[in-house]
Structure 1
Amino acid sequence: MLHFGKVAAAFTVAATLFASTALAQTVLKSSDTHPDGYPTVEGVKYFGELIKERTEGRYEVEVYHSAQLGEEKDTIEQVRSGVLELNRVSMAPFNGTVKESIVPALPYLFRSEEHMHKVMDGPIGDQIKTAFEGAGLVVLAFYDAGSRSFYNRTKPINSVDDMKGLKFRVIQSDIFVDMVAALGANATPMPYGEVYSSIETGVIDGAENNFPSYDTAKHYEVAKHYSLDEHTILPEVFVMNKAAFDQLTPEDQEIFRQAGKDSVAKQRELWAAKVSESRKIVEEAGAQITTPDKQGFIDAMEPVYAKHVTDPVLQKMVDDVKAVQ
């Protein structure tokens, strides 16, 4: 027993998983904060189906939805350290680690979801993927998360003036905190799972997210006013621990990369359907949806860009994004 204990201690989690030839199948764990059936969860499940099929069952992916393995902040650390092999997470929490991830998180940068797709599917997306490898992660896919807008329990938001003094939950990102401050409101970063009760009890006035999240987390029950300002069209990122990826053979690495690409089309199709379904659900439940004049919101973002786009590399990326037609 002592001998086996020493051997076990000598291996990292990733190496143990991939070095074993005695096992007919290697099971990879993937985390997601969203519930079962959510488009990102289903996108990763589809990725897993492709992996199982194309490796003839040598690899299988187990998807842990509904934050079973922790909230995003926790699972990001788990996948970087190799405790988890795979993770689907918002890109914004990486802003302090991967500077190139700042660009897609900038408010009002993308003109539409189609514009975002062209950017992330092209050279700029490849540049961001390469940057993630420096953080010990391999990007397998960029998934849709639609446009994020503000919602609250207090009143309709039709202009920047209506934002003043309200408290909004934001994801853990300095850009999001500064965006809310620039609009005259107060930002409160907190885990996604705490938002419902915090709005219900008045700890915060509201939050910001897309229609599917507003629906599936039932936030429309406690925050009836949804303002379609569409401040960010931030893609989600599906990543793999780089040490685990490097243990794959070159042939299997290509299978994993291609399966990631192929899962994107499936996820986008599911996402578009879910957005329509969720908007209908929340409207029928009594949510009040307004469309403010965005120009005032856009004008207020000047200090956010001035603070976060100081690096020449990032400035060029911003200019390149705007040039994509």
Structure 2
Amino acid sequence: MKKTLGLLLTLLAAGAASALELKSADVHNADDYPTVAAVRHLGSLLAKSSGGALTVKVFNKGALGSEKETLDQVKLGALAMTRVHGATLASMCPKSLVPTLPFLFRSVAHQRKVFDGPLGEELLQACDHQGLVGLAFYDAGARSLYARRPVKTLADARGLKVRVPQTDVWVAAMAAIGANATPMPIGEVYTGLKTGLIDAAENNLPSYAGFRHMEAAPVYSRTEHAMTPDLLFIGKRVWDKLTPTQQGQLREAARASVQLQRQLWDAAEAQALAAAKAAGAQQVDVEREPFRQAMAPVYARFVNTPELQRLVKAIQETK
């Protein structure tokens, strides 16, 4: 009996010692933010499917650094996983530029269909050569223009000083519709709108309401010009340490986490819209086709290889 008990304790200790905790980073502050909650859900599913051999611990609030810093840590193997915005990747993984392009997706439903199919699988592999194994696309919302007045037509956009993130694609996109791109940190946008330093900004609904931009720009014009996703990566150095079975368990948990993340994101958008309307903001519909056609010079400049052109065409033709 003593020998049996001793053997059992030894086996349990060995199992505990072989358990691997995958540390994952996210810069968002809220513990219930959709991507943070999704990766925690992934961890719960993975712990169950792996019998406790694999667990995930999420460090959010930027505790492990900026998105660029966590990507570097993942590539080196110092950190297992990280969630980053797609715009962070465009300069290092050429195919990753494609989902950031303006007016590429016709709707959120179109975007999700692309990401759930073979094109999504191909795009998830865009950073393999950088030592980053793509696990999931998460929603980061459709970005739209907001200002003191409606922006329904190209004529309405002409001459507006619009805050955009510091990326070449978005500076070019604003120029294509006749607006003046004004890159600035998100924390300065509220004051910029209030003081007239900028006339407009663009972002998704949760950011619009969360940063209280509706107080300074009460008209949200649904251009839905960008649907750049978030992505979840695991470093190849850590990935290669997993057995094929464990890799399959991780991918399955990641797929399941996408469904939860989308539900949480949709709920966050509905809540943000209600908050904006309660504060007196209004949303207006936009005829998007003229805006899309105006992007021709942007696509000519940035979609400049046969491979990128093939991907864009395939996405546009996805029904």
Q: TM-score, normalised by structure 1?
A: 0.84
Residues 195-232 of structure 1 deviation map (CA, whole Å, 9 limit, x = unaligned): 44554555544432211222233332343231111112
Partner of residue 156 from structure 1, selected from 136, 150, 175: 150
Q: What are the within-5 Å matches in structure 2 for residues 109-258 of structure 1?
A: 109-152=104-147, 154-200=148-194, 202-258=196-252
The answer as to whether partners of 2:76 and 2:237 remain within 8 angstroms in 1 is no
Q: 1:138, CA displacement in angstroms?
A: 1.0
Q: Percent identity?
A: 42
Residues 18-77 of structure 1 deviation map (CA, whole Å, 9 limit, x = unaligned): xxx847552513213353322222211211211222233343323233444444344333
Q: Distance in 1 between matches of 2:30 and 2:37?
A: 10
Q: Which moved more, 1:162-171 or 1:277-286?
A: 162-171
Partner of 2:259: 265
Q: Distance in 2 between matches of 1:274 and 1:34?
A: 15
Q: What amino acid sits opposite 1:98 in the alignment? A: C
Residues 262-305 of structure 1 deviation map (CA, whole Å, 9 limit, x = unaligned): 11111112222222121111111122322232233112111001
Q: 1:124, CA displacement in angstroms?
A: 0.9
Q: What amino acid sits opposite 1:33 in the alignment? A: H
The answer as to whether partners of 1:31 and 1:86 remain within 8 angstroms in 2 is no
Q: What are the within-5 Å matches in structure 2 for residues 31-46 of structure 1?
A: 31-33=26-28, 35-46=30-41
Q: Which moved more, 1:203-212 or 1:255-264?
A: 203-212
The answer as to whether partners of 2:25 and 2:70 remain within 8 angstroms in 1 is no
Please report the RMSD computed on the Cα atoms of aligned residues, expressed in angstroms.
2.4
Secondary structure of the residue aligned to 1:138 is strand
Q: TM-score, normalised by structure 2?
A: 0.85
Structure 1 unaligned spans of 5+: 1-20
Structure 2 unaligned spans of 5+: 1-15
Q: Distance in 1 between matches of 2:285 and 2:195?
A: 27
Q: 1:158, CA displacement in angstroms?
A: 2.3
Q: Distance in 1 between matches of 2:31 and 2:162?
A: 26
Asked if 1:106 is matched to 2:101, the reply is: yes
Partner of residue 319 from structure 1, selected from 298, 310, 313: 313
Return closer, same or farther for 1:53/1:204 CA change in 2, 3 Å cut-off. Answer: farther
Asked if 1:96 is matched to 2:95, the reply is: no
Q: Distance in 2 between matches of 1:237 and 1:196?
A: 28
Partner of 1:4: none
